[in-house]
A and B are shown apart, each in its own frame.
Chain A
């Protein structure tokens, strides 16, 4: 059975950094394309980033240059390194597999002083 479990969220000050993790089970992360999607409180879904099987990565304009998606094949885990965080990055962050057939439960990131 496929499971995705995000972790690493929390409260951080503006300008700070966080690294989110998405631990996968039931499938191989590197054999799929994996995405990060976020949802600000009371708002809609926003696509953040994707990593394809071959390692290509793409980012939304709103996070480009500040966020980095990566994976550790030995741990079957996807990551999102978030730097220079802003108040508008406050959201629940989800990881998703492929076309979105599987999602994690999300982890809340709050950027506030």
Chain B
């Protein structure tokens, strides 16, 4: 089965740069995206097609990919960015795959 691996937690101070990684073989061939989920809420798309940011998402959110590693960078993280972040992509058999999620703490 295809897997995407994320660190379980990342912690930064307000104003610092937060980087969350997602690794997996399927990333080398397929677009990936990042979702932000705050407690009790539905996920929100923050990055799609590896590097694109939907309208309404702050510019401090950016995505990059190198080989089989996909990275979400939050430049100047804010307290309101504290949330769970999930990467997602599709395997060659059209099945979707989520990473296990990363809890971002900003304090």
Residues on A lying within 8 angstroms of B by beta carbon are 35, 37, 44-47, 50, 56, 58-61, 94, 96, 99-101, 103-106
Contact = CB atoms under 8 A, between A and B. Distances in A.
Interface residues of B, number: 23
B86 A99 contact: no
A87 to B, nearest CB: 21
B94 A45 contact: no
Given A99-B48, A101-B54, A47 B43 contact: no
Contact of A44 (B48, B93, B95, B101): B101
Given A46-B98, A47-B88, A99-B48, A58 B42 contact: no
A47 B100 CA distance: 11
B37 interface: yes
A50 B96 contact: yes
Contacts of B96: 35, 37, 47, 50, 60
Q: Which of A58, A99, A104, A106 has the most CB of B within 10 A?
A: A99
